[in-house]
Amino acid sequence: MTARRRAAVLGSPIAHSLSPVLHRAAYAALGLGEWTYDRYEIDEAALPAFVERLDESWAGLSLTMPLKRAVIPLLDEISDTARSVEAVNTVLVGPDGRLTGDNTDIPGLVAALRERGVDKVASAAVLGAGATASSALAALAGICAGEVTAYVRSAERAAEMRRWGERLGVAVRTADWSRAAEAFEAPLVVATTPAGAADALATAVPDRPGTLFDVLYEPWPTPLAAAWAARGGTVLGGLDLLVHQAVLQVERMTGVSPAPLAAMRAAGEAALAAR
């Protein structure tokens, strides 16, 4: 019998998280009946004490906002992928108690695009300039042959995106948000803005759009995603990203590969439909 192992997602707010649904579906499909996966409302102030209490029963943690950078000083090591964007969404607890930080958002984004047949593009556009935008740039570093244009709302955000581009080896050009509709000329658009921020752009979707990756999953579809799909474009949503990054987390925490992608996606879709 598999020894009892624990995993959980931490963040604040956390009640909306689909991670328990996805991980528990994976455990059920893999026959890991002794594995548990919970959620904990943890902010930056409470994080050090929680991490200090981790014992040998723990396999790993999933982290959401605002903990992806706050956890780094508490770890023994972090992967090159996590270091590249200074963000950890996965903590692995080793048998010796060592804590290793990783980032599955970046390879998860790449895997989700690959699943839809997008493995190389000549250029790309990013809407927004937050933490998810830097992960998008890191993913685009491996699949975008040319320039990435980031549409942002301030000079400070523009400078930040250019710095990330230099760090990640991506040619980044910035443009003001007022020109965001121009993003749709690119073969791949990654929308990383909060809910509602890009809704007004739905009327600007061209007749023959390329691929849109809108990282939101609730509410879904967004007005932009719905307009994109109505015009025949390829649309990926936040659930695609969430499932693919969770697949990688399950594989790294359990040591079992491949994780059951289809079962995890079906569980996520059912949970969203029930909300």
Q: Which of 86, 168, 167, 162 is nearest to 131 (CA)?
A: 86
Residue corresponding to tokens 């969203």: 272
Q: Tell me, what DSSP letter sits at residue 194?
A: P
Q: Which runs of E-coded beta strand occur in 77-207?
A: 77-78, 90-93, 99-102, 124-127, 148-152, 172-176, 188-191
Active site residue 120: no
Q: Which runs of E-coded beta strand occur in the chain?
A: 5-11, 35-41, 58-63, 77-78, 90-93, 99-102, 124-127, 148-152, 172-176, 188-191, 211-214, 234-236
Q: Which of 264, 272, 246 is nearest to 64 (CA)?
A: 246
Q: Are 103 and 79 in contact (CB under 8 A)?
A: yes
Q: Are strands 90-93 and 58-63 parallel, antiparallel or unpaired?
A: antiparallel
Q: Which of 39, 68, 244, 265 is catalytic?
A: 68
Distances (CA, A) of 186 to 46, 121, 179, 180, 214: 42, 9, 13, 11, 14
| Cα–Cα distance, 265 to 106 (Å, whole number) | 18
Report cis status (omega within 30 of 0) of the bond before 20. no
Report cis status (omega within 30 of 0) of the bond before 260. no
Say which amino acid occupies 99. Answer: L
- Residues belonging to the active site: 68
